[in-house]
Each structure stands twice: as structure tokens, then as C-alpha cells.
Structure 1
Amino acid sequence: MSLNEEVNERRKEIRTDGYAISIGEWLSLYENNEIDIHPEFQRIYRWSESQKTNLIESILLGIPVPPIFVSQRSDGIWDVVDGLQRLSTIYQFMGQLKDENNKPIPPLVLSGTKYLPSLEGKKWEGSADLGDEDPNSIGQNMRLTIKRSKLNVSIILKESDETAKYDLFQRLNTGGSSLSAQEVRNCILVMLNKDFYFWLAELSKFDKFLECIALSDRAISESYDIELVLRFIIFSLIDIKELDSMGDVGIFISEKMRVICTDKNFDSQYWGDLFRKTFTKLADNTADNSFKRYNLAKNKYSGGFLVSQYEAVTYGLAYNISEGTDNDNIDERISGLWSNQEFTNWSGSGITATRRLPHLIPLGREVFKK
């Protein structure tokens, strides 16, 4: 197929539309449940109060705001693909934003900016008693200015290929984004299968798992703990042949995630049990040393979390637990990795996961076998 034919074929898969909508109309869509902004994302995104104020300032000053991307579902409701934080900020400032339990979120109070220092302490409306006479209210004039301001919307119509919105979301939220790779995956998961996302998140809070990984607060805030759970699901029982054509690991994880979370035959009970058995065994033997470097000269563990050791240990142990061939000498097996040349050759810094995994996964399966 020629490039021209490929382009024409793909263009048929994505049908779009676009126009400008007033903020008043955006609010009406939200109040009538005609738009899904995925309130679950609020715990994933990290806009600061100053970023929120800057958006309101831009609207007041007439500074163009990037368009909102939505996908039209079969029931006609719009799924927000990109622009959730912008819409959430506006709804919060107007006192209408609700969380995933449909409970009101406290209205946004603005802070002063370089161009509008008088925004400090301003709210959409003042107290019920004082109304617009409340010095903290932005007043009716400003409220109408905001309501009449328009935001452009780009719509992926329901006739489009089902995966188009997830591809678009990933492209818009990677590369220069404040979101980590797993945070982007989390958002896609919520759109694809909300229950699967919550299941992963629940596993990531398993006390034995947390005891073993000993991650920094920053890593956890960026959902690296959830990524480690997802990696466990993808790589523990993977067919080794798949690793030869894996390509970029980040893309591989995202694509595998899509397949798994939409698979009606996925056995979450089985995988949950295997996950808990694996980390209970590790916690009972090596605890927070499970993924730390073993210093042969000093005969002790030291340093922080090593993903290469996580790959060899966790996937290897889980595989053998599933096969009924796991070994009880966990501490000895883990510390012994550091005298294994295959492991030290492929676990060093600068070796990408794409090159590393085809060596470490088979090695881990062999090391933890009876």
C-alpha cells in the first residue's frame, strides 16, 4: 500500500468536527451530564492553584486558550480527551465541580497575578448576605464576561475508530507533559475500563508490596507503584518469544495494557492471588531489601530500588509460583544474582529495558526454580 493509500485509509477511520462554545454552554453541558470530564483524573493531574488562577486570568484578558478535545460516545455524551484540567478549573471557579462521588468540591479562590494583582482572594460569588457587594466577589460584570467567552472544541465523532480517542489522548499528553507515562496510562485506563484501573490501584496499596518496593514519595505521586503492578501483570507469564520483537518498552506496556483491560476473559482473581503470593513471599524473606543491590564485599544490601532487580526477581518468582516450581531460599537467590555474570552484564545503568528484559526474564525464571 502506498503512502497516499495509507493516509486515505486512516483518514476514513477518524471523523471530526469543531466549533467555538461559550463557557456558559460548557457549564450547561456539565450540569446536564452531557459531558464526562472523568473526575477520577483529579487525583492524577497536578495543576497548582497558581496555574488555575492563570487560566481564569487568560479568559478575563481574552488570551486564547488551547482547544478542548472530546470524543462523542455512542450515547451522544462527550468524553473529554484533552482539556479536563481547563474545564475542571472553570467549573470549580464557578462552584459547580463535583468529585467522583458526586460531592461538591470547594470553589476556587483566586490569587493575585502579575497583570491582575487584584485577583487576590477573588471568588465567583460573594457571601449570600453581601452578594456582589462582597469585596471578594468578581461581580456580575466579570461573571458575564467569563460566561460569554468561548472555548474551541474539536470533536472526534462517534463514527470514528474506537481506539482513535485513546491514541489522541496519549499523543496530546506525552512529550513535554507534566504527566508521567503511567499517569497517562491511568487516564486511558479510566476511559477504557474504570474497574480495571481501580483494581490495579488497589493492588498497588497491598502492604507486602509496599514493604518490598520502598519507593520515594515522588515516584508514588507519579504512579510508579501502579506501573510496577502493571508490569508484573504483563511480564510475569509472558511468552519469551514476544520479547524479541518488543520494541520500545513504554509503547509495549501501553499496548499490552489496552489488550488486557479490554479482555473479557482476563482472570483478575487469579492475577490478584499470584501478585499477593509473590510479594508476601518476598516480604517474609527479604522485605525492603528485595530490590536493592547486594554488596558482595560487605555482605549486605544497600542503595535504593533497582528496576532491573525487580524484573529478574519478581517476574522469575511469580512464574515459578504459577508453575509450582518456586524455591524457598529467596534471600540466597536474590543476593546470588550479584555474583551472576548474566545479571550484572544486563542490569547496569545505560542498558535499556528493551535490551535488558530478553535476558533478565529467562534468567529470573531459572534462578527461582527448585
Structure 2
Amino acid sequence: MDTFTPTWNELITQYRSGDVEIDPAYQRAFRWSYDQQTTYIESLLLNIPTPPVFLAEKPNGTFEVIDGLQRFSTMVKFFAAEIFDDEATPSEDASVENNIRVPSILADAPILGGLQGISRATLPDTLVRTLRYSRVQVILLKKESSSIARYNVFTRLNRAGTTLSNQEIRNCSARLFESNFADRLNAIGNDSVVRTALGLSSKEASSMGAQENVLRLIAFGNFSPPTKSIEDFLDEVMYQAAGGDFDFSEDMETKIRKTFELLAEACPRGEAFKFYRGDRFQGAFSPNLFDIVACGVFKNLAKCKKKGTEAVRMRIEQLHGQAKTLELTGAGSNTRAKMMGRVAFGKSWFSF
């Protein structure tokens, strides 16, 4: 790694010339609110230290941002009128809050008074120069760095105080490999049939909950967890699949899709992964039930299809009357033994 401290003016010039990419496929979108953008700009004006920006050198000698997209985008948006050829009118409308081609209008700042309603066009020249020549620490991963190194850097950076979900981090990290696994996983998770079968809340769905559960099925359908940490287990499976150490074949993808198709037909409101109480399914999505039901159907797909959706639904309902179900989904269910127990029980239960 190399470390240097360019000015924001230098970085923006590199961005404008196409030498720095701030939205590689594995990065999340620009999400900062005007309040957050204003706070960052205020920090630069006050010379308050800010976190470094991590860049990765690409094979062609250009660079991509692997951490610091929000800060970089904030500066590009503030100087948008100078960067982009097409003219855009500043607006406080929420629809343009994260459009980097629309120049920022600052919000009320925590320390400096008078920034509210200010844009690049109305900020005093002395303060504009202060922003331009503010320095930022840049940590550069040279192009000789391995994909493994980039994967670990991105994952560790974004696991500390992040608002990203664990699956968003996995998906972003996996894109550092020259692999389409993350795209395939994303496509399966976005499939309407898969989402119907899972019945996730809007919050869970928006943070890649569907993709995480597809990955969970791939993981438990092909591996045994080495520890009780489900997150470490899913990280490792994502890493192996993206890195090419695990072959996620077309046949396996088809089998997973057909598993969710069968479950969506049998339980079209996500009931398969909710507890059955008082003669009805109720409550939130249960990952523990997912391990039993999804893995059980996946491992017995041919038998389940032959029995039909009504038989599968009845088998799901009957599952809740079993003492084994309570044992494996109740208190202390996150041990390695119980995780493996759920998969084994599901395989046995849906073998009919």
C-alpha cells in the first residue's frame, strides 16, 4: 500500500479526466443527506481531520474508490457545475439530494453559521479555495494487490460503524473478484417468486435480506458451518463462490430457483418461514425455520415436487407440532450443533 495526501482539487481533477472512478459496481450508491454532506464540507472548512479515502489501482492504471464514496461524491456534487458539461439547476428537492450532477445546496451546519442555503456559486471565494486545497489522506492499494487483499480491506472497513447490512458488505466485497457470482446472487434475490416465498418486510428486503437467505441456502445446502458464527460462515461461502473455489453451477441455481417456486406456490404469503400458532401462521420471518424448511425442500426437491404443493404445505404446518422444531428454534438455537441439527431435521422431515 502507498499513502499520500493530495488536495481535493487534485482528486476532483483526476475524477473529471476519468482517472478516478467513484461508483465501481461493488460500491453502494451515494446516500448521504444534505445534512451529512454539509457536515463533511464544514469539517474541511474548519480543518477538522476526516477519515482517509481508500483507492485501488486498476490494471489500466486508473483508480477506483473502495472506501470513501460518500465523501468523494459530496465533493463532486458540490463542484458539479465545474465538473459536468451539462447544466443542472440546484434544488433542495429530495429527488436530487444524491444526484452528483446537481450542485449541492448546503444545510444548516452544526458549528459554522451561515452555510444554510449556500452553494458553490454563492460561497465566498476564500472559502471555496479552502475547500479546493483541503488535503485528504489517500491509501492506495497497488494493482499488484491480490483480490483477496482487496476483499479483506473492503470487508473490514465496512464492518466498522457501518450502516450497510452484512449481506450488502458481502455483495460489495465479492465484486472485487473477477466473478459474476454477486450478480447472479442479486438476480435470484430480486426474483419476484423468491421474494414471494420469503415474505420479508420492506426493511429486510431493502438491505438485501433476500440475497442473504439465498446465500444461506447455498451455504447450508453444500457446506457445514465450522463455527457457531453464521456471519463468518456466510462470509466464507461468499468468498469461496466469488473467488472460484466453489462452483455455483447453472444446475444448482436452477434447483434453488425451483425450491423457491415450490415454496411460493405452497405458501404464497411467506408462511413457510413463520411460526404456526392458533391455527394460523403469524409473526416475522424466522431464519431458524428457513434452515429447516428451505434446506429440507432443497435437499428433497424431486420428492417434494412429486408430492405436490398441498402436501408440502401440510408438511410445513405439521412441522410446528414437533418437539424437535421447538428444540432447534427456541432458546440457544444459534449453536453450531443446532444449526446443523436444523438442516439434518429438515432433510429428514421433507423426505416424506
TM-score (norm 2): 0.85
Report deviation, 1:194: 6.8
User: 1:292 aligned to 244, 263, 274, which one?
Assistant: 274
Report deviation, 1:226: 1.7
Question: Given that residues 286 and 330 in structure 1 are in contact (C-alpha distance below 8 angstroms), is that contact kept between their aligned partners in structure 2?
Answer: no
Question: Given that residues 58 and 65 in structure 1 are in contact (C-alpha distance below 8 angstroms), is that contact kept between their aligned partners in structure 2?
Answer: yes
Q: What's 2:320 paired with?
A: 338
Within 5 Å, which residues of 2 pair with 1:183-332?
A: 183-193=168-178, 195-236=180-221, 238-239=222-223, 242-243=224-225, 245-263=226-244, 266-267=247-248, 269-288=250-269, 289-295=271-277, 298-321=278-301, 324-326=302-304, 327-328=307-308, 329-332=311-314
Structure 2 residues without counterparts, runs of 5 or longer? 87-98
Question: Given that residues 240 and 246 in structure 2 are in contact (C-alpha distance below 8 angstroms), is that contact kept between their aligned partners in structure 1?
Answer: no
Q: Give me the whole-angstrom Cα distance separating, in 1, the residues matched to 2:335 and 2:33.
A: 33
Question: Given that residues 179 and 222 in structure 1 are in contact (C-alpha distance below 8 angstroms), is that contact kept between their aligned partners in structure 2?
Answer: yes
Q: What's 1:167 paired with?
A: 152
Question: Given that residues 45 and 131 in structure 2 are in contact (C-alpha distance below 8 angstroms), is that contact kept between their aligned partners in structure 1?
Answer: yes
The farther-off stretch of 34-43 and 206-215 is 34-43
Q: Over residues 291-338 of structure 1, what are the superposed CA-to-partner deviations in whole Å (9 max), with x where a residue is unaligned?
A: 11012xx222111211111111111111222xx333431112111221
Within 5 Å, which residues of 2 pair with 1:20-31?
A: 20-31=5-16
Q: What's 2:161 paired with?
A: 176
Q: Give me the whole-angstrom Cα distance separating, in 2, the residues matched to 1:230 and 1:138.
A: 48
Structure 1 residues without counterparts, runs of 5 or longer? 1-15, 126-136
Question: Given that residues 20 and 150 in structure 1 are in contact (C-alpha distance below 8 angstroms), is that contact kept between their aligned partners in structure 2?
Answer: yes
Question: Given that residues 249 and 353 in structure 1 are in contact (C-alpha distance below 8 angstroms), is that contact kept between their aligned partners in structure 2?
Answer: no
Within 5 Å, which residues of 2 pair with 1:138-157?
A: 138-157=123-142
Q: Give me the whole-angstrom Cα distance separating, in 1, the residues matched to 2:31 and 2:332.
A: 30
Report deviation, 1:42: 6.4
User: 1:367 aligned to 328, 336, 349, which one?
Assistant: 349
Q: What's 1:130 paired with?
A: none
- Name segments (4+ residues, structure 1) moved above 6 Å: none
Question: Given that residues 217 and 295 in structure 2 are in contact (C-alpha distance below 8 angstroms), is that contact kept between their aligned partners in structure 1?
Answer: yes
Within 5 Å, which residues of 2 pair with 1:52-201?
A: 52-95=37-80, 96=83, 105-125=101-121, 137-193=122-178, 195-201=180-186
Report deviation, 1:365: 1.2
Q: Percent identity, please.
A: 28
AA of the residue aligned to 2:61: G
Q: Give me the whole-angstrom Cα distance separating, in 2, the residues matched to 1:122 and 1:193.
A: 43
Q: What's 1:9 paired with?
A: none
Secondary structure of 1:192's match?
Answer: coil
Question: Given that residues 37 and 80 in structure 1 are in contact (C-alpha distance below 8 angstroms), is that contact kept between their aligned partners in structure 2?
Answer: yes
TM-score (norm 1): 0.82
Secondary structure of 2:300's match?
Answer: helix
Q: Give me the whole-angstrom Cα distance separating, in 1, the residues matched to 2:109 and 2:217.
A: 46
Cα–Cα, structure 1 residues 104 and 54, in superposed 2: closer, same or farther, change >3 Å? closer
Report deviation, 1:104: 6.0
Question: Given that residues 110 and 122 in structure 1 are in contact (C-alpha distance below 8 angstroms), is that contact kept between their aligned partners in structure 2?
Answer: yes
Q: Over residues 180-211 of structure 1, what are the superposed CA-to-partner deviations in whole Å (9 max), with x where a residue is unaligned?
A: 21121122123225743332222222222222
